[in-house]
Structure 1
Amino acid sequence: MVELNVVEARVLGSLMEKEITTPEYYPLSLNALVNACNQKSSRDPVMELGEADVRTALFDLEGLGLARTIADTRVSKFEHRTRDVLNLRRDEVAVICLLLLRGPQTSAELRARTERLYSFDDNNAVLSTLERLAGREEPFTAVLPRQSGAREVRWVHLLSGAVSEAMSAPPREEAPATGLAQRVEELEKLVRSLEERLAALEGSGATVQE
């Protein structure tokens, strides 16, 4: 089973994207690939990878058969082999590519963002692709638990291994935490006030007895 680290996932996703969106510049030179990995748009998270980072990732991807070097030009160029190695259809390539580049997303988000990669007829077509990938003998996608207040579930790729609990758990909501802190502070103030009043009453009682 393929298990990519975050840099390998970014490099592979960038190669997959540029093959479709800028075929005139594909395969990519190392410099072009670094720039693709570090794009400020259509990336989550935004990274600042150096040439050494990308070279290392390419070496590991080549070892997995997922990338290869085209060395018959003045400048070495690189391409992915995801379709052949993982046996992916065009719609599956588009979905995996976006999940590699932008992390967990809903089917609606994927449909809106895959326009340049693949044209899905509707949201059900995206769901069908995601479910097909999830139903493989070695699943490539999985659905995450629904976040509190969210209308749709998010999907994630499994090319980096099983989904961690940290990723699958809904993000903590700040508002309730802030409200709890305020309540604790108010209770502490109330306790201090009661203690002061009790001390005052005890002092007053002592004076009367004298």
Structure 2
Amino acid sequence: MPIRPLSPVEARVLGTLMEKARTVPDSYPLTLNSVLAGCNQKTSREPLMQIAEAQAQEALDALRGLSLVIESSGGRAARYEHNFQRVYGVPEQSAVLLGLLMLRGPLTAGELRINAERWYRFADISSVEAFLDELHERSAEKGGPLVVQLARAPGAREQRWAQLLCGPVAMAQAAAECEAALPGAGEVAHLQARVEALERELGLLRETVQKLCAELGMSQGGQS
């Protein structure tokens, strides 16, 4: 039976648990405070979020109801760990890619390979692409695709991938966000004008050097 789409906060909480299980295993499972700190950290997150403690607890409880999170009691505070691979029935490599996409937003295969270094070391981009293709072609019996390849944005060399755990991706919105990150027409025109000005200055400098060399009876490559 397919799992309902996750909310953005649930995806951030789940992705954080998946990340910390691999990057700080000595501190795992996590307390609520650790989950909250991981969700709200300013690095390796897109978009940045400011989740309140009550929101994080609500998301953990909801994920526990979906069997995606397991709560363990011990010590002073409850601790939480993810159960992602068992519920979705995917291998570790696929779970790593989905976790990264939940935390960082759409990424290219190359960006996924680089950002996965602390989670799992992929041999090459082809390996990443193979697991993405497998997630994209996932059968309906298994719950359907878990990733989608976005249309190539203007000026971009590679296509990005997005996760579908939070439901269908708004293709137009994703393309617009990517296009907005590219230099605008005004910025391109400004850069082009600067390049042309530098080329003119370089031409003038060359003429000056040629005149000086002629007056001194020197060749441009050295003395005559």
TM bin, normalised by shorter chain, reads 0.7 to 0.9
Q: Please tell me whether the aligned partners of residues 148 and 170 of structure 1 are also in contact (alpha carbons under 8 angstroms).
A: no
Q: Please tell me whether the aligned partners of residues 23 and 119 of structure 2 are also in contact (alpha carbons under 8 angstroms).
A: yes
- Match of 1:175? 184
- Match of 1:16? 18
Distance in 1 between residues matched to 2:120 and 2:187, nearest whole Å? 43
Other structure's SS at 1:169 match: helix
Supply the AA of the counterpart residue of 1:175. G
In percent, how many aligned pairs have the same letter? 41
> Within 5 A, what are the aligned runs for 1:180-199?
none
Q: Please tell me whether the aligned partners of residues 26 and 79 of structure 1 are also in contact (alpha carbons under 8 angstroms).
A: yes
1:154 aligns with 2:154: no
C-alpha spacing 1:178/1:117, structure 2 compared with 1 (3 Å)? closer
Supply the AA of the counterpart residue of 2:94. E
Other structure's SS at 2:148 match: strand
Q: Please tell me whether the aligned partners of residues 151 and 171 of structure 2 are also in contact (alpha carbons under 8 angstroms).
A: no
Deviations 1:126-184 (A, max 9, x none): 100110111102111110000001100000000001111443434355734899xxxxx
- Match of 2:67? 65
Supply the AA of the counterpart residue of 2:161. W
- Match of 1:76? 78
> Within 5 A, what are the aligned runs for 1:137-148?
137=139, 138-148=144-154
- Match of 2:109? 107
Residue segments in structure 2 that go unaligned for 5+ positions in a row: 189-224
- Match of 1:199? none
Give the CA RMSD over aligned residues: 1.7
Distance in 2 between residues matched to 1:167 and 1:27, nearest whole Å? 36
2:98 pairs with one of 93, 96, 99: 96
- Match of 2:39? 37
- Match of 2:125? 123
1:164 pairs with one of 170, 174, 190: 170
- Match of 1:49? 51
Distance in 2 between residues matched to 1:62 and 1:166, nearest whole Å? 33
Other structure's SS at 1:68 match: strand
Supply the AA of the counterpart residue of 2:13. V
Other structure's SS at 2:156 match: coil
Provide TM-score, normalisation by structure 1.
0.81
